Amino acid sequence: MESSTLGFSQPIIELSEVELIVSNYKYLKTVGNKDAPIAVKFLERKVANYDLKGSDLYSDEYDTYIISFYIPQGSIVAEYDEDGHITKTIERFKNIALPKAISKAVYARFPNWAVTGDIYKVSYRRGDENSKQVYKMKLENGDKTIRVKTDEKGNFL
């Protein structure tokens, strides 16, 4: 029985170095909440990846740009500098799925109450290590209604 070997040769292609620049990673790191709903994460990523210089809005004569982003669950108004870096945002989302920490805190403190509405607000400023994240909720128990606020960790405000 004869044995044969089949071989293929492929040319070696040398690729140039690729530099990946994420200019708004600090924004995502600051506002990022691992338990945030997918819709919130989606819009925050859109804001972080927005190519200001590649947009029709860009002009060398302006120092700041205010761009609004919308989805059915909410919106983000972002301010960019002339280099496309986010300087601040105002974010508002309505009736989103609450993170586990918020749900646990609310149901522990108000065991017989149901969350019937919520608003999630975020304020970001470049240079500030912490973003301000607030959850405002409407709770109902029969014919009684109350409103409560928490931070992103479930601490009542």
Query: Hey, where are the domains in the chain?
Result: 25-151
- The DSSP code for 110 is S
More confident residue, 38 or 123: 123
Rounded distance between C-alpha atoms, residue 79 and residue 85, angstroms: 8
For residue 64, what pLDDT is reported? 93
Model pTM? Answer: 0.80
Residue 43 has pLDDT above 70, yes or no: yes
Q: Please enumerate, as own/partner, the contacts of 4-10 that have beta carbons within 8 Å and a separation of 24 or more.
A: none
